[in-house]
Homo-oligomer: A and B are copies of this chain.
Amino acid sequence: MMKTLLLLAAALPSIAFAQGLDPVALRDAALNDTLAYEIIEGLTTEVGPRLGGTSAEAQARDWGMAKLKALGFSNVHIEPFLVKGWVRGIETGEIEGTNPRKLAITALGNSGATPAEGLSADIVLFDGLAALKAAPEGSLKGKIAFVTHRMARAQDGSSYGAFGPIRFVGPSIAAKKGAAAIVIRSAGTDYHRNPHTGVTNFEKGVTPIPAAAVSVPDAELIERLAKRGPVRLKLTLTPRANGPSPSGSVVGEIPGSDPSAGIVLIGGHLDSWDLGQGAIDDGAGVAITTAAAKRILDSGKQPRRTIRVVWFGSEEIGGGIDGDAYQKAHTKERHAFAAESDFGADRIWQFNVKLPEAAKDVTARLATALAPLGIAPGKGEVEGGADVEETIKAGASGIDLRQDGTRYFDLHHTPDDTLDKIDPVQLRQNVAAWTAMLAIIANAPENLGQTISKK
């Protein structure tokens, strides 16, 4: 008798699913989640760093395919695209002198190379990007531009917006002014001898110069020496641009009961910088979103909307090309909602939403479900994350589940981005928040997003 009932239930999922998803029960169960940590532990241990466009990223895709299949997701597949490949070479630097000082230095992504035997030049010190911009054209000829700053910790990570441009565009500006190379104080907030890498972008037509970041203690040593007299650096950086290189995103789904309701797109990015293990950036993001989706999958209740989990393949070196590739490939599909986790694994403290006016009650339901986790509604615009912003721009609704970024830029893009930096308790709070959010959004009776026009 029991057996018959069980078989019936299995044969008639729609009956059970019709009972709906309970955001509160799912949320509370997620506070005991172990899957998210297991995914980060596996990815950092069995694959490790996985720069987009390299064989390590290809290994990570295989790992992700196997994982999503093993977890029971549907339609698991890879969506390939090409990324402009770039790989690190030798990277050493020193302050020349009678007692030369070895620098903790790393090339920025897309950096040019020095001659194999290195490059020696005096520095010209700039305090910030505005000072570099103000340098007369040609004034840096044969010199190394050294740009420092005072980026400080901020819960919302906003200091990266203020000081990050030194890395994003400083090298291109220095190159145009004739600099032989540029060295920046890392766009980071820690005081460890671990420099922060990350992409820099040379303007079209500007030949890349060697561009590197030193750790904050090294930067402050250079600043102190510069107060005493001229400072001469020797740099040896031999990175290599590889041209178009295969990359790809891993996709898995939980099919929804109502195809017309549109897709809920969630994910993080699978690729990472090459210096650490890619634990907080962004093993955490793929793990949190996958673990949350898995809880919906295991609830025994089919969601109204299809939940699509994407492990994006080249956010870092690709500068978001993976999200662009996704959006381009899926332009004909209706996306109701999109959200990314790409800011570590510390606790979520605030959420911002983009929802249609008619779906205002969804915000209230989210606020109610998230409040017990210490998460308050914010008043900001939804940014979405580099991999989903194109989908949101194209009309999808979205949410930012904002994580505490106080220590994020201590670790971001450094050798220190390792498994031990994951706090399992805060990680579980993230999974609980994403689970509650998914339960509400996937089943919302309201109309979410816009119908994407068929271009």
Q: What residues of B have a CB within 8 angstroms of the CB of A416 in the complex?
A: 191-193, 217
Q: Is the CB of B216 within 8 A of A420?
A: yes
Q: What residues of B have a CB within 8 angstroms of the CB of A420 in the complex?
A: 191, 216-217, 220
Return the contact of A224 from the options B45, B47, B55, B224 (Cβ within 8 A): B45
| Stretch binding the partner chain, chosen from A98-106, A263-271, A354-362 | A98-106
Q: What residues of B have a CB within 8 angstroms of the CB of A277 in the complex?
A: 217, 221
Q: Given A194-B193, A228-B45, is A419 in contact with B220 using a C-beta cutoff of 8 Å?
A: yes
Counting CB contacts under 8 A, is A449 at the interface?
no
List 27 contacting pairs A-B, 8 Å CB cutoff, sorted by A.
A44-B221, A45-B224, A45-B228, A46-B228, A48-B101, A48-B221, A49-B99, A49-B101, A50-B99, A55-B98, A59-B98, A59-B99, A104-B415, A191-B416, A191-B420, A192-B194, A192-B416, A193-B416, A193-B418, A217-B277, A217-B416, A217-B419, A217-B420, A220-B418, A220-B420, A221-B277, A224-B419
Counting CB contacts under 8 A, is A225 at the interface?
yes
A417 to chain B, nearest CB (A): 9
Q: Is the CB of B55 within 8 A of A99?
A: yes
How many angstroms from the CA of A31 to the CA of B429 in the assembled complex? 45
How many angstroms from the CA of A407 to the CA of B264 in the assembled complex? 46
Q: Is the CB of A421 within 8 A of B191?
A: yes
How many angstroms from the CA of A447 to the CA of B23 in the assembled complex? 78
Q: Given A55-B99, A99-B56, is A193 in contact with B415 using a C-beta cutoff of 8 Å?
A: yes
**Which residue of chain B has the shortest Cβ distance to A193 in the bound complex?**
B415
Counting CB contacts under 8 A, is A85 at the interface?
no
User: Interface residue tally of chain A, by bracket?
Assistant: 35 or more
**Which residue of chain B has the shortest Cβ distance to A223 in the bound complex?**
B45
Q: What residues of B have a CB within 8 angstroms of the CB of A415 in the complex?
A: 104, 193
How many angstroms from the CA of A198 to the CA of B225 in the assembled complex? 28
- Residues of A in contact with B (beta carbons under 8 Å apart): 41, 44-50, 55-56, 59, 98-99, 101, 104, 191-194, 216-217, 220-221, 224-225, 228, 276-277, 414-416, 418-421
Inter-chain pairs besides A46-B228, A59-B98, A193-B276, 17 sampled, C-beta below 8 Å: A45-B225, A48-B99, A49-B101, A55-B98, A191-B416, A191-B420, A191-B421, A193-B194, A193-B414, A193-B415, A193-B416, A194-B194, A217-B277, A217-B420, A220-B420, A221-B418, A224-B419
How many angstroms from the CA of A369 to the CA of B420 in the assembled complex? 44
Q: Is the CB of A192 within 8 A of B192?
A: yes
How many angstroms from the CA of A419 to the CA of B221 in the assembled complex? 9
**Which residue of chain B has the shortest Cβ distance to A220 in the bound complex?**
B420
A224 to chain B, nearest CB (A): 5
How many angstroms from the CA of A217 to the CA of B44 in the assembled complex? 11
Q: What residues of B have a CB within 8 angstroms of the CB of A221 in the complex?
A: 44-45, 48, 277, 418-419
**Which residue of chain B has the shortest Cβ distance to A46 in the bound complex?**
B228
Q: What residues of B have a CB within 8 angstroms of the CB of A99 in the complex?
A: 47-50, 55-56, 59
A370 to chain B, nearest CB (A): 30
**Which residue of chain B has the shortest Cβ distance to A279 in the bound complex?**
B217
Q: What residues of B have a CB within 8 angstroms of the CB of A50 in the complex?
A: 99
Q: What residues of B have a CB within 8 angstroms of the CB of A56 in the complex?
A: 99
How many angstroms from the CA of A50 to the CA of B49 in the assembled complex? 35
**Which residue of chain B has the shortest Cβ distance to A276 in the bound complex?**
B193
Q: What residues of B have a CB within 8 angstroms of the CB of A217 in the complex?
A: 277, 416, 418-420
A123 to chain B, nearest CB (A): 15
A54 to chain B, nearest CB (A): 9
- Residue of A192, A220, A415 contacting most chain B CB atoms (<10 Å): A192
Q: What residues of B have a CB within 8 angstroms of the CB of A191 in the complex?
A: 416, 418, 420-421
